[in-house]
Structure 1
Amino acid sequence: MALKPIGNARDELADQENWPNIIGEARAVADALPDLLVEASHVASSVTAGWHGRRRAGPGESFWQFRPFNMGEPAKRIDWRRSARDDHLYVREREWEAAHTVWLWADLSRSMSFQSRLSNTSKRDRAIVLMLALADMLAYTGERIGLPGITRPFSDRRAAERLADALTHLGRPDAFPETAPIQRFSDVVLISDLLDPVEDVAAWIGQVAATGAKGHIVQVLDPIEETFPFDGRVEFHDPEAGIRLTTGKAEGWREAYQKRLERHRAEIRDTARRAGWTYVLHHTDRPPAEPLLVLHSSLTGSAETLAQGDI
């Protein structure tokens, strides 16, 4: 549940009852995208520095690059049109088709807009940055990327920009993506606070796992949702269901709340692990590069087994 204490201006966001309609929410996301796209590009660049992609020459249909002709090769490999431009002979290489499809999804539902005084960014903005940065990194390694139910898979070095453009036309901000387009041998990445009922999360994991795809989950939480540093009279508000709950002594609820949140987290983590999925817990006061390192390693197979924990 997203938390909003009353009587403490440092923690307050815009009143959720005054939230705009779905169109207004989409506009808010669109307005933030240019800055988030720049941030994602910087994050992706810092993570991929020094890495080598999976793209290489080999059998396939897509053009990859021109390279100089080597003596002893069959003359039929020469691309005469390209070679006619200067005094050298060139060979047209095709890309080795090792790329597979990676479906990405950032939860943009209302609870994701929460931001406390303990973090410089909202959960929604961090989820978008992680998704766009991951798209940039996967495009660098030549993978096909898509938003389930929104775009078809594509391979493009401008993948992050294309996904950002698709988000500007997103309708209802659903917490979970459609499973119909997901097929066997693909990967699915969900970035969400996962504060939905455990049964709903488990049902979605089961649907994706049944397709034969492999999943990767990043649970994004604001640090205040973990520490529960509230005292006195506080009102808690669930922006998804519109439920309000007021307590006169919030400090008396701290221990029970933290135990319930840990139990909720553990159930989701265990469900993901039973399905053979990657699970990462990320807090918005931590650098976005941390979960990206785990995700990229899992997706590219650079590490068969990773310690899955809190980041």
Structure 2
Amino acid sequence: MLDAAALLALGNLPLVARLMADGAQAGLHPSRRRGAGLEFSQYRPYQPGDDLRRLDWRLAARSDRYYLRESDVDTRLTVRLVLDASASMNHVDAAGVSKLAYARLLLAGLAHVAQQQGDAPGLYVLGPAGLRTIPPRADAGQLPRLFHALATTTAAGLLPADTATAGPLLSRQGNTLTVVVSDFYDLEPTAPLDRLLTQLRAAGGDVLALHLLAPNELTLDYPAAATLEDLETGQRLQLDPGQRPAYQQQLQAWLRQTEQAIRGHGLDYHRLLTDEPPAVALRTVLRRRQGAAR
């Protein structure tokens, strides 16, 4: 369970993704489930209330017993991985790991898990220029495409005010899971991220919002004399140690408001810190997802 800094030092995103996926011991959904599918799996005795159309009448005629044909139902997903690439994602924690770098590791692990289950992962990078899209596919070449895109993504600027470029995210392809990784720095009513979440909810499918934070954002663990700069606006603020209690209160209020806003859209919400080993974070996310899918 290496931390993010150690995994990044390996300099091999495909290897890191495989290690994380192998250690997760869970998937995005149960691989198969029993039901009225197309591929026969087994018989089970009839119970009152069962659908009579699934009775095997030939077997009943031979054995004078009633059995239902059960099949494996295809549960494969279209997995849409959405990365916030605005400038605030360049924030670095005490170990030197940026939120963007941590998000790369987490999304690479999710993509690897998705392919292992036969799902179709795709990547959507939301930055100042709009939406960069690698459409979901289940072929063997998809992971290299996703890993290259993740490795070459940089964070800069503000998210575009016009969310019209998010069109590819708003069309469903069968069973769909959308995972949004962001620090939700600009989650205000009518702000780009808020509008995007509203649209995703309206489009249907499952949506999981992963709120990524660095520990030093929570503790304000900086020297007494420090100047803080907003990575998106360039605004600077001189840090006064006496302001820390007020900062903590405002931060906790903002975190509550952010979670309430996201859950208010009807979306699943989970908060992650960059000092947590990415494999542990991946396993936690997958287990939450497994629980939601049952």
Give the structure-2-normalised TM-score: 0.68
Residue in structure 2 matched with residue 180 of structure 1 by the alignment? 167
Does the Cα contact within 8 Å between 2:24 and 2:279 map onto a contact in 1?
yes
Instruction: Summarize the Cα distance change of 1:209–1:121 in structure 2 as closer, same or farther, 3 Å threshold.
Output: same
| Corresponding residue pairs, total | 237
Instruction: Summarize the Cα distance change of 1:197–1:217 in structure 2 as closer, same or farther, 3 Å threshold.
Output: closer
Q: Secondary structure at the match of 1:165?
A: helix
Supply the distance in 2 between the matched residues of 1:262 and 1:162 (Cα, whole angstroms). Answer: 38
Residue in structure 1 matched with residue 236 of structure 2 by the alignment? 244
Instruction: Summarize the Cα distance change of 1:41–1:207 in structure 2 as closer, same or farther, 3 Å threshold.
Output: same
**Deviation string, structure 1 residues 94-120 (Cα, Å, up to 9, x no partner):** x97432211102223322222232x35
Residue in structure 1 matched with residue 144 of structure 2 by the alignment? 161
Residue in structure 1 matched with residue 15 of structure 2 by the alignment? 38
**Deviation string, structure 1 residues 210-245 (Cα, Å, up to 9, x no partner):** 111321111111111001123532211011111111
Q: CA deviation at 1:166?
A: 3.0
Q: Residue 204 of structure 1 is aligned with which of 181, 192, 196?
A: 196
Instruction: Summarize the Cα distance change of 1:158–1:54 in structure 2 as closer, same or farther, 3 Å threshold.
Output: farther
What is the letter of the counterpart of residue 165 of structure 1?
H
Does the Cα contact within 8 Å between 2:78 and 2:176 map onto a contact in 1?
yes
Instruction: Summarize the Cα distance change of 1:146–1:296 in structure 2 as closer, same or farther, 3 Å threshold.
Output: same
Instruction: Summarize the Cα distance change of 1:113–1:35 in structure 2 as closer, same or farther, 3 Å threshold.
Output: farther
Instruction: Summarize the Cα distance change of 1:187–1:51 in structure 2 as closer, same or farther, 3 Å threshold.
Output: closer
Instruction: Summarize the Cα distance change of 1:131–1:257 in structure 2 as closer, same or farther, 3 Å threshold.
Output: same
Residue in structure 1 matched with residue 55 of structure 2 by the alignment? none
Residue in structure 2 matched with residue 221 of structure 1 by the alignment? 213
Q: Quick check: 1:256 aligned with 2:246?
A: yes
Does the Cα contact within 8 Å between 1:220 and 1:284 map onto a contact in 2?
yes
Residue in structure 2 matched with residue 152 of structure 1 by the alignment? 135
Does the Cα contact within 8 Å between 1:192 and 1:218 map onto a contact in 2?
yes
Residue in structure 1 matched with residue 262 of structure 2 by the alignment? 272
Q: Secondary structure at the match of 1:155?
A: coil
**Deviation string, structure 1 residues 193-214 (Cα, Å, up to 9, x no partner):** 2222433233221121111132
Q: Secondary structure at the match of 2:121?
A: strand
Q: CA deviation at 1:51?
A: 10
Residue in structure 1 matched with residue 281 of structure 2 by the alignment? 291
Q: CA deviation at 1:255?
A: 1.4
Supply the distance in 1 between the matched residues of 2:148 and 2:9 (Cα, whole angstroms). Answer: 12
Does the Cα contact within 8 Å between 1:136 and 1:157 map onto a contact in 2?
no
Does the Cα contact within 8 Å between 1:106 and 1:190 map onto a contact in 2?
yes
RCO higher in structure (CA 8 A, sep ≥6): 2
What is the letter of the counterpart of residue 196 of structure 1?
D
Q: CA deviation at 1:292?
A: 1.7
Instruction: Summarize the Cα distance change of 1:292–1:98 in structure 2 as closer, same or farther, 3 Å threshold.
Output: same
Q: CA deviation at 1:246?
A: 1.7
**Deviation string, structure 1 residues 162-209 (Cα, Å, up to 9, x no partner):** 202234665876758953123345221111222224332332211211
Q: CA deviation at 1:144?
A: 1.2
Residue in structure 2 matched with residue 135 of structure 1 by the alignment? 111
Unaligned segments of structure 2, at least 5 residues:
1-7, 40-71, 125-131
Residue in structure 2 matched with residue 22 of structure 1 by the alignment? none
Residue in structure 1 matched with residue 78 of structure 2 by the alignment? 101
Instruction: Summarize the Cα distance change of 1:52–1:215 in structure 2 as closer, same or farther, 3 Å threshold.
Output: closer
Q: Secondary structure at the match of 1:189?
A: strand
Does the Cα contact within 8 Å between 1:179 and 1:207 map onto a contact in 2?
no
Supply the distance in 1 between the matched residues of 2:259 and 2:29 (Cα, whole angstroms). Answer: 31
Q: Secondary structure at the match of 1:102?
A: strand
Q: Secondary structure at the match of 2:103?
A: helix
Instruction: Summarize the Cα distance change of 1:51–1:100 in structure 2 as closer, same or farther, 3 Å threshold.
Output: closer
Supply the distance in 1 between the matched residues of 2:187 and 2:76 (Cα, whole angstroms). Answer: 35
Does the Cα contact within 8 Å between 1:133 and 1:160 map onto a contact in 2?
no
Does the Cα contact within 8 Å between 1:136 and 1:158 map onto a contact in 2?
no
Within a 5 Å distance, the mapping from 1:85-124 to structure 2 comes to 97-117=74-94, 119=95, 121-124=97-100
